[in-house]
């Protein structure tokens, strides 16, 4: 057995585990279908054909996000983007928190801060949020959900945000899949550096960017292992997008994601 065979076996193992999780959650399927059906609103209400997906990599700190607010495009931000709120007037179309950890006491303040700052954004949450804590349904914001546990996205499959889908890996993989599912014909990546494993310190656009001195929270061996899975998902998403006639452009300076066509961000502002 080669290392390539071992990696393939790992992907298949995780994929099988996802289907087991799906079977275990069948009793709650009726409630979940009701939540996911609401995503049809997002598809109907889409106003533009282009969506900018903003990760939180250090490079985003060097981007003039104000310019996006003046373009005929939609925008999607993730996780702790709210910490950038004082540095830009960008008001995101979608605010995605796909990690179930945002319901926990450790990150709940971040979720509430995002709702307070961007009350008119469409919030995209993990479908486990109301299961973990039903009080999230009381927040005064537009709430939508994604269910991602039916296998793992290791082969190009139909992406339908109104149904249970496979897991996609990190938040940017999820964001791209979501944008595809809403119906965007062009998806542009900003701040998707995909290189935290290559830095000595944990760095985000909101905490000093590449000059950050925060200690790494994840050991290198674990992070590299996880990144290998995410890199595979990016390749599968690229293949699916190509088949569907969807253009995905990586405008992130220095990004290590190699699945999508690279473009200079200055060209996108013209």
Residue 224 has a pLDDT of: 83
pLDDT digits (tens, 9 = 90+) for 56-80: 999 999 899 999 998 999 999 999 9
Residue 225 has a pLDDT of: 83
Beta bridge partners of 152: 167
Nearest to 143 by CA among 152, 134, 151: 134
Choose between 151 and 29: higher pLDDT. Answer: 151
Provide the 8-state DSSP code for 29.
H
| CATH 3.90.1480, domain 3-264, yes or no | yes
CA distance 236 to 114: 31
Residue 251: pLDDT above 90?
yes
Domain spans, the chain = 3-264
Residue 78 phi, psi dihedral angles, 5° rounding: -130, 155
Residue 232 has a pLDDT of: 93
Residue 211 has a pLDDT of: 67
Q: Which residue has the tokens 């996880």?
A: 226
pLDDT digits (tens, 9 = 90+) for 172-191: 999 999 999 999 999 999 99
DSSP string, 212-268: --BPPSS-HHHHHHHHHHHHHHHHHHHHHHHHHT-EEEE--TT----SSEE--HHHH
Which pTM was predicted?
0.94
What is the arithmetic mean of pLDDT over 134-163? Answer: 92
Nearest to 182 by CA among 47, 79, 81, 90: 47
What is the arithmetic mean of pLDDT over 125-134? Answer: 93
Choose between 16 and 155: higher pLDDT. Answer: 16
């Amino acid at each position: 057995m080669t290392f390539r065979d071992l990696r393939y076996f790992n992907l298949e193992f995780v994929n099988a585990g996802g289907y087991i999780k799906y079977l275990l959650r069948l009793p709650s399927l009726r409630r979940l279908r009701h939540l996911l059906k609401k995503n049809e609103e997002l598809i109907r209400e889409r106003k533009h054909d282009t969506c900018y997906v903003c990760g939180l990599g250090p490079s985003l700190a060097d981007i003039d996000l104000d310019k996006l607010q003046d373009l005929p495009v939609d925008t999607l931000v993730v996780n702790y983007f709210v910490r950038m709120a004082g540095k830009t007037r960008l008001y995101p179309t979608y605010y995605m928190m796909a990690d179930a950890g945002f319901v926990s006491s450790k990150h709940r303040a971040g979720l509430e801060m995002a709702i307070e700052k961007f009350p008119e954004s469409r919030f995209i949450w993990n479908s486990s949020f109301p299961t973990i804590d039903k009080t999230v349904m009381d927040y005064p914001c537009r709430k939508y959900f994604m269910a991602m546990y039916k296998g793992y996205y290791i082969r190009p499959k139909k992406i339908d945000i109104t149904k249970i889908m496979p897991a996609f890996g990190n938040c940017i993989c999820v964001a791209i899949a979501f944008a595809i599912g809403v119906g965007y014909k062009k998806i542009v990546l900003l701040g998707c550096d995909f290189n935290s494993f290559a830095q000595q310190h944990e760095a985000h656009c909101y905490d000093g960017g590449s000059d950050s001195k925060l200690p790494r929270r994840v050991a290198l061996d674990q992070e590299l292992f996880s990144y290998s899975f995410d890199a595979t998902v990016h390749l599968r998403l690229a293949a699916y997008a190509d088949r569907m006639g969807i253009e995905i452009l990586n405008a992130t300076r220095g990004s290590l994601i190699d699945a999508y066509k690279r473009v200079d961000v200055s060209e996108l502002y013209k």
